[in-house]
Amino acid sequence: MNLIDLLYRHRRSEPTILLGLKLFTMIILMACLTGYLVVEIIDVKQDDGLIIKTSYINVDAVPPPTLYIYGGYNFSISTCIQIYFANTTVKCSPEDTYNELYYGAYRPSPNVLFNDSLTGLTLILTTSEIKPSKSQDIFVYAFDSEYDIFDKLLKERTAYDDSIYELNKYTIKPAQFYDFSYSRVIRESMKPNWMNDFGVPPTYEQKSNIESTLLGGPLLYKSTEGSLISFNIKPKRKNVVRVDKEVRSKTYLSGLGLIGGTWGLLAALYTFLFGADKLRPWGAVQSYCCGFSRFTQKKLKKTFPIIPFSDTTYNNVKKYPPYHELSSDEQTELRINSLELFLREYVVDVHYLDGIRDRLVIKPKTISDSTTNQEAQNMKEEFDNLNTNSTHSTESTVTQQQEGLVNDSITVNLINFNNSFVKKPSIEHTHEDNIADLPLPKRQKKTESLQELICIRPDLKGKKVYFFPTLDKYFEGVLIYDAKEKKAYVYSVKGDCKFDTFSKWLDYLQSRGFFKGRRSAVATIFLEANPTSPSIASILSTSNYATYWKTTSLIYSTDILSSIQEKILPGGEFAGTAVQNINEGLEFHFFRKGLVEKKLLILIKSGCHRCEVYVFDRIVQEKYLPFPIKEMKRTLNEIINIIRYVFSVSICYGQSTSGNLYLIVNFYI
C-alpha cells in the first residue's frame, strides 16, 4: 500500500478508472489510520490511572509498627514487654516509649524486628481520672515504622499520605485487652517524568505502610488503682511482604504497537481489494545513504552488461502489428518486452534501476570517449572469455538445436552433463599437506575429520559430498566454511540443517530412520556420487586404507557417462544423442527429423543394470532384442554395446520388411 507509487503513475495495463478507485480507497484508509493515531495520542495524554501490580517477596524480618495514642484523660504506657521464643520476656528499651499528658507513643528501636525469635510485643496502658462526665475513648494511630507521617505537615502530605493517614486508626477503652495484628505493604510509586509517557522504564520511590486488624475483649481482672489496657502486637506474616508496584496502562510505545497492527490490517485489506505491491529489492540505505547508494549503483553497473528493465521501447504496445504477422525474431522480442512490462508493473519496483539508467545516459557527456571506449572494450573481453569457455561444451548441443534434433529440456541437461566433466586445475598442497603427514604424537591435538579435510583441501569449500549408507542409496551434503568462526560445516540437503562434524551428520540421518546400524564417516563419504570412487579417507589417511565397499567391479552412472562423453560430441560415434541423469540411472534420447525416435533407459540398483527400450514412446519386448533387459550385473563394454545397438538400429515407417527391422516395427502389435 504505497501512496507515493500510486501518485507517481498507474499501471498501463489497468483501466484509468481503477486508479481513481485506488486513490479514493487509500485516502479513506489513511484517514481512518490518522484518526486512530489522534485518538491514541489523546488517550495516552489523559491517562492518569495507574495499574497496581501486586507481588509478594520473602524477607528475613519485619519491623514493629509505630503507635500514637491520645485520649480525653490522663494515661501512660506503664509497661512494654518483648516476647521471644518459648515465652521468654524482655522489657523494651526506655527510649521506645514516650509519655506525656493525655498522650503516649511507641517508637520501636531499629534493632527490634519480628523474626523467628521475637514473636510478639505487649503494651500495658494505665488510665486514671476516669469520670462519668468524660468520654472514655482512647484513639490509636498505627504507621509503618519506616514511613511515619503522623507529624508531617498537612501541606506536605501527598495523596498517598492522605490515603493511609487514618487507615489504621482505632478506638480503645479501659479494662479491655486488644490483639493488634498487621501485615507490611511496600508501595513503589513512579516519580513523575515526561519519559514515562513513552514507555521508558521509570524511577520508583518506595513508601511503606501497614494493613491491620484489631480484636478486643474485657479483662478478667480490674486494678484497684485504675483501669488497665492490654495491647498485644504481632505480625500476620513474619517473612512475607506485599509489594504494590505502579505500572502505566498506556504509553506512546504501546500506542505505536496498536498503530502498527492497524496499519497491517489496512494493508491486508488493500491487498485483498487491489493485489500486492511490487517488490522493493533496495531500501533506504541503498537509495539515500550517500556512500552506500553510490557503491551499490556502481556495483550494479559492473555486474550487469545492460541495466534490466531499462529499455522503454515497449511502452507503446499498440505499435506492434498482429502477433501472427510477425517473424520469429519479432515474436520473441515481443514476448520478452511483454514479460518485462509485466515485471515492471506488477512484480519489481525498478525506480532504482531507472536512476542508474539515467546516469548511464548522461555519462558520455561528462566522461571522455576514450574512457568509455576502454570500459566497453573491457566488458566485451570479459564476455568473449566467458563465451569461449562455454563454446566447446555446448557446441554439439547448439548444432543439434539448429537442426531441430534436440528439444530445449534435453539441451539443458546435456549442457549440464558436459560441464560436469570439465576438469578443474589441480591445487598444490604444501603447508597443509606437511601438517597432515605429521605423525600423531607430533601434533598438539588431533583435528576432527571435517575440519582436517578443509584444512588439507581448502578447494573443497562449497563442494558436494555423498554419504553412502548402502551401495544403492546416498545422501547429499555440501561443505561450507564460516570465515567469521573459522570453522567448517557440512550442510545436509536432507533435513535442511548443518553440522560441524561428519559424525553428527550421520547420527542425525540415523536418528530419523534413513538407515540402520553404524557407519564409518571417513570411509562412506565420497566426493562423487559413486561408492567405488575414493572416499575422503584417501585424503585424510597417510597410509594405505581399505575401501569400505568391496565393489570395485560394479558400474555406475558416472562410469558410463565418462566412457561416452567423447562419443556424443559432433563427429563422435553417438553424435546427436542426448543423455540425462534420472533418479534410477540414465536416459538416452535418439533423434530423427527433430523427434525422439528411440529411447533407452539404463536403470541401476545395487550394482545391477536393467534396460528399457522405447520406439516412439512404445516399449519394446525383450524377445525382439538381442540382449536381456532383466536386472543383472553387466560390464562397461556390455553397456556400451547396448547403447551402440539402439543407436545404430534403423526404423522403417509404413513398410513391410523382413529381418530385425520388421521385428522392430512389430513391437507395437
**% of the chain at pLDDT higher than 90:** 17
Q: What angle do CA 648, 654, 659 make, to 5 degrees?
A: 50
Radius of gyration over every alpha carbon of the chain, rounded to an integer in angstroms: 46
Is residue 353 a contact partner of residue 309, using CB atoms and an 8 Å limit?
yes
**% of the chain at pLDDT higher than 70:** 71
The confidence band for 194, taking pLDDT boundaries of 50, 70 and 90, is confident
> What's the pLDDT score for residue 624?
87
- Which of 237, 115, 229 lies closest to 185 in space, CA to CA? 237
> What's the pLDDT score for residue 68?
94
Domains and CATH numbers, the chain: 3-46+255-274 (no CATH), 56-248 (2.60.470), 284-420 (no CATH), 431-540 (no CATH), 583-668 (no CATH)
> What's the pLDDT score for residue 522?
84
Q: What is the pLDDT of residues 211-256, one digit of tens each?
A: 999 998 888 765 544 578 899 999 998 889 999 988 877 777 777 8
- Which of 613, 607, 614 lies closest to 635 in space, CA to CA? 607
Q: What is the pLDDT of residues 46-58, one digit of tens each?
A: 766 577 889 999 9
> What's the pLDDT score for residue 446?
52
Q: What is the pLDDT of residues 107-139, one digit of tens each?
A: 999 899 998 888 899 999 888 766 666 667 889
> What's the pLDDT score for residue 88?
85
The span from the CA of 83 to the CA of 596, in Å, is 108
Helix, strand, or coil here: 72?
A: coil
Residue ranges in 137-200 assigned as alpha helix (H): 159-165
- Check the CA dihedral 198-202-208-214 and report its sign: positive
CA 3 to the chain's CA centroid: 30
Which residues fall within 8 angstroms of residue 439, CB to CB, at 6 or more apart?
none
Give mean pLDDT, residues 254-271: 85
- Which of 423, 424, 417 lies closest to 574 in space, CA to CA? 417
Helix, strand, or coil here: 62?
A: strand
Count the neighbouring beta carbons within 10 Å of the beta carbon of residue 380: 11
> What's the pLDDT score for residue 438?
38
Q: What is the pLDDT of residues 457-479, one digit of tens each?
A: 889 999 999 998 887 788 999 99
| Backbone dihedral angles phi then psi of residue 120, each to the nearest 5 degrees | -165, 170
> What's the pLDDT score for residue 339?
75
Q: With b meaning 16 or more CB within 10 Å and e meaning fewer, what string describes 588-609?
A: bbbbeeeebbbbbbbbbeebbb
Candidate ranges 127-136, 300-309, 417-426; pick with highest mean pLDDT: 127-136
Compute the mean pLDDT over every residue in the chain, rounded to the nearest whole number: 75
- Choice between 117 and 412, residue whose per-residue pLDDT is larger: 117
